[in-house]
Amino acid sequence: MTTVPAVGPGAVRALLALAEHAARRAGVVIVEDRPEHLGVAATKSSPTDVVTEMDRRAETLLREILGAARPEDGLLGEEAGHEPGASGLTWVLDPIDGTVNYLYGIPAYAVSVAVVSGDPTVPGAWTPLAGCVHNPVSGETWTAAAGLGAHLLGRRLHIPVPPSLDRALTGTGFGYFTGRRRTQSRVIADLLPRIRDIRRIGCASMDLCMVATGRLDAYFERGLAVWDLAAARLVVEEAGGVVRGLGDAPPSQDMVVSAAEPLVGLLADELAALEAAADAAPAPGGTG
């Protein structure tokens, strides 16, 4: 049975300070130590799902910093997996969210560090307590702590009143295999005539933070892992927005939808009607 430790405002502030410190340290490394000719170190779920040596180096550094400061906590990261802890708290790490952007030199990537209570490997069974999303190129840093609000470089965020669906500037993203991309393109083809426009930034944590900041009215994506959204989810929620799944489902790999109410509900209903949380069959002879 996962223990849920009581964490007061003071402790939450200390967790947030540690999350931001670690994210900024990793940010320095991935910018300053980026090799001139950065290559692909390995591929994961498909030939286009890549990892670089810098993803691994940054995650190792994050684990060292957090492990030294809080040895009892668990660690769950995109590159090095899950090390359960004894404290009931787990650090959820995406050392470079937007790895393909990083590989191509597109300055839209971020270090995402969150601490959660509960079990982050089970959708709906974890609660974010503090989180930081840091873009080391622009310097923009989103932070949030449970009950203490969300901030962008110290400025308190309040999500704007949303427009109607047909005026919604909407972010989204696409998966790494053809069956999923076929469904995602069908959904976009149907949705595009009925919204303001689509933005594909290529970094889920920044997409969500842009919803909290009012730079996007809404965002949705299928296929996200807990490390893509753990910190940014708290930024949206502490700014007054919503991060959810379809129907009564929590946000998960199946689907993440985010906006302020009532827009988030309208978009979720549209996506459910379009069966957006299902993948088409892989193309015969295709790459899965």
Q: Using CB under 6 A as the criterion, which residues of the chain lie in contact with ligand LIP when the complex forms?
A: 78, 94, 97-99, 173-176, 202-204, 221, 228
Q: Which is nearer to ligand LIP, 221 or 238 (CB)?
A: 221
Which DSSP letter does residue 199 get?
Answer: E
Q: Which is nearer to ligand LIP, 118 or 171 (CB)?
A: 171
CB contact at 8 A, 128 and 14: no
CB contact at 8 A, 163 and 263: yes
Q: Which is nearer to ligand LIP, 121 or 253 (CB)?
A: 253
Nearest approach in angstroms of CB 109 to ligand LIP is: 7
Token pair, residue 202, equals 């290529």
List beta partners, residue 89: 117
Token pair, residue 161, equals 């009143």
Q: Where are the beta strands (DSSP E) in 88-196?
A: 89-97, 110-118, 126-134, 141-145, 149-152, 155-156, 169-172
Q: Which is nearer to ligand LIP, 94 or 270 (CB)?
A: 94
Nearest approach in angstroms of CB 171 to ligand LIP is: 9
Nearest approach in angstroms of CB 100 to ligand LIP is: 6
CA angle 240, 272, 50 (to 5 degrees): 80
CB contact at 8 A, 79 and 199: no
Nearest approach in angstroms of CB 275 to ligand LIP is: 19
Nearest approach in angstroms of CB 10 to ligand LIP is: 32
Q: Which is nearer to ligand LIP, 91 or 176 (CB)?
A: 176
Q: Between β-strands 126-134 and 74-77, what pairing exists: parallel, antiparallel or unpaired?
A: unpaired
Q: Which is nearer to ligand LIP, 136 or 175 (CB)?
A: 175
Q: How far is CA 7 from CA 10, 128, 129, 193, 263, in A?
A: 8, 12, 8, 46, 32
Closest residue by beta carbon to ligand LIP = 173
Nearest approach in angstroms of CB 40 to ligand LIP is: 13
